[in-house]
Amino acid sequence: MKDLPARRLLLVHAHPDDESINNGATMARYAAEGAHVTLVTCTLGEEGEVIPPALAALAADRDDVLGPHRTGELAAAMKELGVTDHRFLGGAGRFRDSGMMGTEQNERPGAFWAAPVDEAAAPLVEVIREVRPQVLVTYDPDGGYGHPDHIQAHRVAMRAADLAADPAYGTGAPHTIAKIYWNRVERAVVEAAFDRLRTTAPDAFPGIAAVDDVPGVVDGDEITAEIDGSAYAGAKAAAMRAHATQIAVDGPFFALSNDLGQPLLTTEYYQLVRGVPGAGGGAREDDLFAGLPEAGGLQEAVRDVASGSASGAGPGSASGVRAGSASGARPDSASGAGA
């Protein structure tokens, strides 16, 4: 078994491009610092709209080859972020992009939204038990903005975390993820960023998105961690540009296929929903691994479990936030994440 670095971060996302928009700076920072960063993407993003007219034939309603194309875009984005461990949930094409909420694509064969949660969680349990991350990042129960694949990614990630910790489930040594975070955006920060967009680049895009179109926007008191990725702003922007069918980047701003400009944030925000905060007195963490003991490499961790010195803890309970079933989705007009 390959030995991996002491710090191991797992991110679970719905479509190619979601990782770069939400966590690109965080991923680049931890990869550069020597942590092992694993990205699991749940679908190929087959139902996304296509921005460049020259590539319009890739779309699902034409040649339906957008998924394989986006696989290449994702590989290019990972190179920009310095991330070498990327997997598709269950293998590329196992689950198909479900489209926006309420569309016929939600129920088509293979749609991620229609998959039983335990069935979809099983391959993620295998990844968790292999990589043994201390930290997991995914969406909130609403998926950030109500897209069915984002909601399902939340459900699958949380369920897989529980199953991976259960010694009675499946094969492989059980593993409890010490800290689970949901993606967030601080309302005051994004409001100020939109003000800058309106002031400095009002004509950069045909229109400007609304604050509430941005996934995961919450008041500041819900934020428990902020990761300063300003040193990796260039890497994040380059990763987003790699997703050329989905994102148009213009300096510190970008737009999706709706042509509505929004800010490209390089400080990224999180809410700890499971585990012990690493910062005392209500202060925000500036490191997702804060408060965790220095961990050994992967081989050492597995040896400890096998010898019985590491307890096979059962599913952890959420601390202060119910992390079970997802809430009802908001209307699907939100525009802050690619499909």
Counting the structural domains of the chain, the total is 1
154 is in an annotated binding site: no
Q: What is the pTM (predicted TM-score) of this model?
A: 0.87
Distance (Å) of CA 215 to CA 144, 205, 291: 4, 20, 28
Q: Is residue 233 part of a domain?
A: yes
pLDDT tens profile 219-276: 999 999 999 999 999 999 999 999 999 999 999 999 999 999 999 999 999 999 999 9
DSSP SS3 for 272: strand
| Mode of pairing for the β-strands spanning 8-13 and 36-41 | parallel
Phi, psi of 146 (to 5 degrees): 95, 5
Decide if 99 contacts 106 (C-beta within 8 A).
yes
Q: Is residue 34 part of a domain?
A: yes
Domain span including residue 91: 8-186+215-246+262-307
b/e sequence 88-118, b meaning 16+ C-beta within 10 Å: bbbeeebbbbbbbbeeebbeeeebbbbbeee
pLDDT tens profile 179-231: 999 999 999 999 999 999 999 999 999 999 999 999 999 999 999 999 999 99
Q: Is residue 203 part of a domain?
A: no
DSSP SS3 for 151: helix
* Residue 48 CA, distance from chain mean position: 17
Give me the amino acid identity at 163. Answer: L
Q: Is residue 192 part of a domain?
A: no
pLDDT tens profile 294-310: 755 554 444 444 444 33
Q: Is residue 179 part of a domain?
A: yes
| CATH number where 45 lies | 3.40.50.10320
Largest CA distance in the chain: 63
**What is the distance between the alpha carbons of residues 35 and 301, in angstroms, rounded to a whole number?**
15
Q: Is residue 276 part of a domain?
A: yes
Q: Is residue 327 part of a domain?
A: no
Phi, psi of 240 (to 5 degrees): -65, -40
Query: Rounded to the nearest 10 degrees, how much is the dihedral formed by the CA atoms of 295, 298, 302, 303?
Result: -80
| Residue 332: predicted pLDDT | 32
Six-digit token string for 98 = 């479900």
